[in-house]
Amino acid sequence: MSEAILEARGLSVRYPDGHTWFGAVRSWRTAVDRLDLVVPRGRTLALVGESGCGKSSLARAVVGLQAAASGRLLFRPRGGPEQDLLALPPRAWKEVRRRIALVFQDNGSALDPRMRVWRSVAEPLAVHGLARGRELRRRAEELMARVALDPAAADRFPDEFSGGQRQRLGIARALATGPELLVCDEIVSALDVLVQRRILDLLAEIQRRDGVSILFISHDLAVVSGFAHRTAVMRRGRLVEEGPTGELFARPRAAYTRELIAAAATLET
């Protein structure tokens, strides 16, 4: 296996589950339980499992949105020292956020409805001080072209785009700072099969061209089986099994994986 861009070692994530009247946490729920996992550089690792298995909590930990995490979450940027994302001082996060981008399910609501789309797409560039003035607009149009959207539509508002197009805008925005790792949380689940296919082809092409690594979270096994290089199966916060996608689907070792594959197979045509 190639070198790891991201490695979780004994990663746990928990949530406050009930508060006292004074706002103190009364109890905790464990969403991710001592997980060991590797995202290989330049490849796609899929994370599958049913709702509530902890896959989205893991994604949030990777982008620093998960406060109560323990263990180690090692990020190895190109040409830089290894960093433990769980022990990162707040100041250092800004630099890391430039290198790790999150795309999530509902980009329609993630884009500011009152902002022309080019401004949304270019926003990360402005935030990180990577471009300004007219350069911002030029870069936004470039990014739109990269995800096969017409740059001439740059002045439109999000509600003038279809669901699939808004997902492309989300990807364009995520690509703005030239990230090394893309975290995709259920990004094609809500889309119809035609649009789904185009978005997956686009991601594969971006990966081939830029060598970006992808952590692909999905509950759709059929999509994963034709897209990810490696697949990890999670259940109740624990890792059930992990391996090369083809092998894992052909010869699942865990009963739970077999169950998931069988359920997906009954929906095959």
Partner 1 sequence: MPPLLEIRGLRLAAGDRILVDGLDLEVGPGEAVGLLGPSGSGKSLTAAAVLGLLPPGVERRSGSIRFAGRELTGLDERSLRPFRGGRIALVFQEAAAAFNPVLRVGAQVAEVIEIHRPEIPRRERREEVLRLLAEVGLDEPERVARSFPHELSGGMLQRCLIAQALAGEPELLLADEPTTALDVTVQARILDLVSSLRARRGLSLLWISHDLGVLARICDRLVVIRDGRRVEEGTVEEVLHRPRAEATRELIAAVPRLRRGGSGGPE
Binding site for partner 1 (CB under 8 A): 43-44, 50-52, 162-164, 189-197, 200-201, 204, 207, 219-223, 225-231, 244-247, 249-250, 259-261, 263-269
Q: How many residues does the chain have?
A: 269
**Residue placing its CB nearer to partner 1 in the complex, 49 or 64:** 49
CA angle (185 as vertex; 87, 80 as ends), nearest 5? 40
* 26/208 with CB nearer partner 1: 208
Closest contact distance (angstroms) between CB of 3 and partner 1 is 17
Alpha helices in 147-244 (DSSP H): 163-175, 193-210, 221-225
Q: How far is the CB of 20 from partner 1 (least distance, A)?
A: 20
Number of helices (H), then strands (E), in the chain: 10, 10
Residue 92 identity (one-letter amino acid): A
DSSP string, 221-255: HHHHHTT-SEEEEEETTEEEEEEEHHHHHHS--SH
Nearer to partner 1, 159 or 268 (CB): 268
Q: What is the rounded CA–CA span in Å between residue 21 and residue 88?
A: 32
Q: How far is the CB of 75 from partner 1 (least distance, A)?
A: 23
Q: Smaller CB distance to partner 1: residue 80 or 226? A: 226
Task: Please report, for residues 18, 78, 103, 214, the alpha-carbon distance to residue 179 in angstroms, rounded to integers and kept in the order given.
Answer: 37, 11, 12, 10
For partner 1, the closer of residues 126 and 222 by Cβ is 222
CB of 201 to partner 1, least distance (A): 8
Nearer to partner 1 by Cβ, of 48 and 183: the residue is 48
DSSP state of 15: E
Q: How many CB atoms lie within 10 A of CB 152?
A: 9
Compute the least distance from the CB of residue 234 to partner 1, in Å: 12
CB of 230 to partner 1, least distance (A): 6
Closest approach, Cβ 139 to partner 1, in A, equals 27
The residue among 146 and 230 lying less far from partner 1, judged by its C-beta, is 230
75: alpha, beta or left? (left if phi > 0; alpha if psi -120 to 50):
beta
d(CA 187, CA 184): 6
